[in-house]
Amino acid sequence: MGRRVDYGEEMKILTAAEMGAADKRSVEAGVPIGELMASAGEAVARFCLRQYPLAARVMVLCGKGNNGGDGFVAARVLAGEGVGVRVLLLGAEEDVKGEAATALAELKEATSDEIVEELFEGAEGLEEGLVELLGEADLLLDAVVGTGFKPPLRGLPLVVRATLEAVSVPVVAVDLPSGWDADSMAETVAGAFRADAVVTFTAPKLAHVFGHLTSAIFGPVVVAEIGSPEAAVVSQTNLHWGGAAKSIAEKPRGINSNKGKFGHVLLVGGSYGTSGAPSMASLAALRAGAGLVTAAVPHCIVEAVGRITPELMVRGLKQAPAPRSGEDWGVASPLNLANECLEELMKGIKVLAIGPGLSQKPGAPEFARGMVRKTSVPVVIDADALNAFAGETELLKAAAAEGRPVVLTPHPGEMGRLAGLTVPEVEADRIGLARRFATEHGVTLVLKGWRTLIAHPDGRIAVNTTGNPAMAKGGSGDILTGIVAAMVAQFPDRVAEAVEAAVYLHGLAGDFAAQAMDEHTVLATDTLAHLSDAFRYRVADEDGFVWVAGLRPPVKSVVE
């Protein structure tokens, strides 16, 4: 095994071509393909031994290319561990070339000639025979095609895919589920092999991270280090894996600590009828470790917000009258921007988080813009406060130009309003748009959704790999805002990592909640109830696998 990858490290996300280039550079740097293949196959075998310790009969499905080569190595290692292994080669042995041929020869030398069976297209009774063969196994390894696959799937692999559907044996995919385009970011992938877990190598490819197939896989998607030198791994899309920043969440609080060390968050938001949003955001800020949290909300909801938890301090904001009727409609007024009010409000505050439940009624947007303009602390802008800057994003740029962190947390609708685009336009180029907006305005942009992106002012983009559809519910965003604010308050000098860690922890807490409950029934506040699990979770495991997706499930028994 090569260098152990730890979750505290950066991990790049690659296209298939970039992975090919990485392999080429690795070879140039003196690491031969055969060595990479040996490490890859060994990693797959180790993964199987650990995740499926009771699998006594393992069937390895191998293609004729290097993906199949990984399969031959895995088969040899598993056999060496006493596992009953059979290899089904999709084609003739004589068509296996290069390093894969070497791996095949080594397999046969270490075991026996009978271990490998050749399959041929059109052979009589092929499908029925395959269903029977596959059904006898405790575990299947899919080493049919990997990054060398060009869609659509043809020939024998097509037959094998169909027979896989007819048996219920778990499948571990080598590098990628066969038939899965490594560069696909598509919502649905027609024609890929089914898989229960995936072991990929060196770095996740786009499909491992963005491909919606990931969410359909029960087991984990892990990355194994196989010895590619770090300098060989280059990502032109400049994407990295957001989980890396979790290390800061694990930083213990110093023994000689006091609440002053962990920052005072001011959460500004709420309006008549939306006391829940600032309440949840404030509670989340407390739970995520802020030293102190004050919520500033319109007077009419002070009591309601205060009830969320006694640790929260609450202040009342003056309320704006409706323009024509003069009726008090329970939204924050620009009168709160008067110097003496603001001074009082901002005393000791380390981070301002503004927006949850604020309302877009006249008065509130002006108040939000004024708060950002007239304060000097790091600011987290969400929800209606983001809408207040639609068409006026120059003001955000000006705030960031003062040298203080400006963090925006839009969902695609809010992003669209900010950037003057429709939601489909936002979704069509999330990466490009997030990068442009963040660099042009000098802000940290958290573009929420499936695989939330964190775009930094310098153009770097982290992709979050936690979270699930249980979180697609009202209140999720408010909770995230609170966690982001708390992390920035605790790590004011490491804002980029603080924001990435916040997004990561929030999604992970949601993953724990969905596991403990059901993805239909989880509420945003249930997510918060699992934040401790998220803080305590360690991604890198003792075997050096790095988990791209999927909570580490209990080691699974396949022989009930």
Q: Which residues are annotated as a binding site?
A: 66-70, 142, 146-152, 175, 178, 277, 357, 411, 448-452, 477-478
CB distance 102 to 132 below 8 Å: no
- Among residues 36 and 539, whose Cβ is nearest to ligand NAX? 36
**Residue 42 within binding range of ligand NAX, rule CB under 6 A:** no
Residue 279 CB, nearest approach to ligand NAX (Å): 49
Q: Provide the CB-side half-sphere exposure for 103 (13 A, CA).
A: 33
Beta-carbon contacts of 97 under 8 Å, excluding residues fewer than 6 positions away, are 64
Name residues contacting ligand NAX, limited to 535-554 (CB under 6 A). none
If one asks whether residue 33 binds ligand NAX (CB under 6 A), the answer comes out as yes
In the list 94, 113, 122, 150, the residue contacting ligand NAX (rule: CB under 6 A) is 150
Interaction partner, residue 437 (K ion, ligand NAX, none; CB < 5-8 Å by kind): none
- 215: alpha, beta or left? (left if phi > 0; alpha if psi -120 to 50): alpha
Report if residue 497 touches ligand NAX, rule: CB under 6 A.
Answer: no
Please work out the total of residues on this chain that contact ligand NAX, with binding judged by CB under 6 A.
28
200 binds K ion (CB under 5 A): no
Contact call for residue 189 and K ion (CB under 5 A): no
Least Cβ distance, residue 110 to K ion (angstroms): 22
**Contacting range for K ion; rule: CB under 5 A; set: 15-23, 139-147, 183-191, 403-411:** 139-147
Between 172 and 267, name the residue whose CB sits nearer to K ion: 172
Query: Does the protein bind ligand NAX through residue 129 (CB under 6 A)?
Result: no
- In the bound state with ligand NAX, the residue whose beta carbon lies nearer, of 67 and 465, is 67
Interface region with K ion, contact rule CB under 5 A, candidates 134-142, 158-166, 252-260, 394-402 = 134-142
Q: Based on the shown chain and the rule CB under 5 A, indicate whether residue 142 belongs to the binding site for K ion.
A: yes
Exposure of 428 by Cβ count < 10 A (0-12 exposed, 13-18 middle, 19+ buried)? exposed
Q: Which helix (H) or strand (E) holds 440?
A: helix 430-441
Look at strands 546-549 and 116-119 and give their pairing.
unpaired
47 binds ligand NAX (CB under 6 A): no
- Residue stretches of the annotated binding site for K(+): 67, 142, 178
Cβ at position 35, least distance to ligand NAX in Å: 9
Q: How many CB atoms lie within 10 A of CB 310?
A: 7
Which bin fits 179, alpha (ψ -120 to 50), beta or left (φ > 0)? left
Contact of residue 374 among ligand NAX, K ion, none (CB under 5-8 Å per partner type): none
Whether a cis peptide bond, with omega within 30° of 0, leads into 152 is yes
CA distances from 527 to 70, 242, 550 (A): 40, 19, 16
Residues 6+ apart with CB under 8 A from 374: 337, 342
In the set 18, 23, 384, 511, which binds ligand NAX (CB under 6 A)? 23
Among 12, 46, 64, 76, binds ligand NAX (CB under 6 A): 64
Helix axes 495-516, 476-490, angle to 10 degrees: 140
* Distance of closest approach, residue 161 Cβ to ligand NAX, in angstroms: 10
Query: Which one among 174, 308, 388, 503 touches K ion, defined by CB under 5 A?
Result: 174
**Least Cβ distance, residue 37 to ligand NAX (angstroms):** 3
Closest CA to 289 of 489, 123, 462, 430: 489
Only one of the segments 65-73, 415-423, 458-466, 538-546 lies at the binding site for ligand NAX (rule: CB under 6 A); that segment is 65-73
Tell me, rounded to whole angstroms, the distance of Cα 378 from its chain centroid.
25
The correct pick among 43, 48, 77, 153 for binding ligand NAX (CB under 6 A) is 153
Q: Which stretch binds ligand NAX (CB under 6 A): 34-42, 255-263, 503-511, 538-546?
A: 34-42
Q: Is 147 in the site for K ion (CB under 5 A)?
A: no
Q: What is the 3-state secondary structure (H, E, C) of 292-308?
A: EEEEEEEHHHHHHHHCC
| Contact (Cβ atoms closer than 8 angstroms) between residue 467 and residue 516 | no
DSSP one-letter code for 12:
B
Angle between helices 33-51 and 16-28 (to 10 degrees): 120
Regarding 178 and contact with K ion (CB under 5 A), the answer is yes
Is residue 287 classed as helix, strand or coil in its secondary structure? helix
Whether residue 319 contacts residue 328, with contact meaning beta carbons closer than 8 Å, is answered with yes
CA atoms within 13 A on the CB side of 443: 27
CB closer to ligand NAX, 63 vs 550: 63
Sheet containing 546-549, strands listed edge to edge, beginning at the edge strand earlier in sequence:
116-119, 84-90, 57-62, 139-143, 171-174, 197-201, 221-224, 546-549
**Which partner from the list ligand NAX, K ion, none does 147 bind, CB cut-off 5 to 8 Å by kind?**
ligand NAX
- What does 202 bind: K ion, ligand NAX, none (CB cut-off 5 to 8 Å by kind)? none
Least distance CB 33 / ligand NAX (angstroms):
4
Interface residues with ligand NAX (CB under 6 A) are: 23, 33, 36-37, 40, 63-70, 145-155, 157, 174-175, 201
Interface residues with K ion (CB under 5 A) are: 142, 146, 174, 178
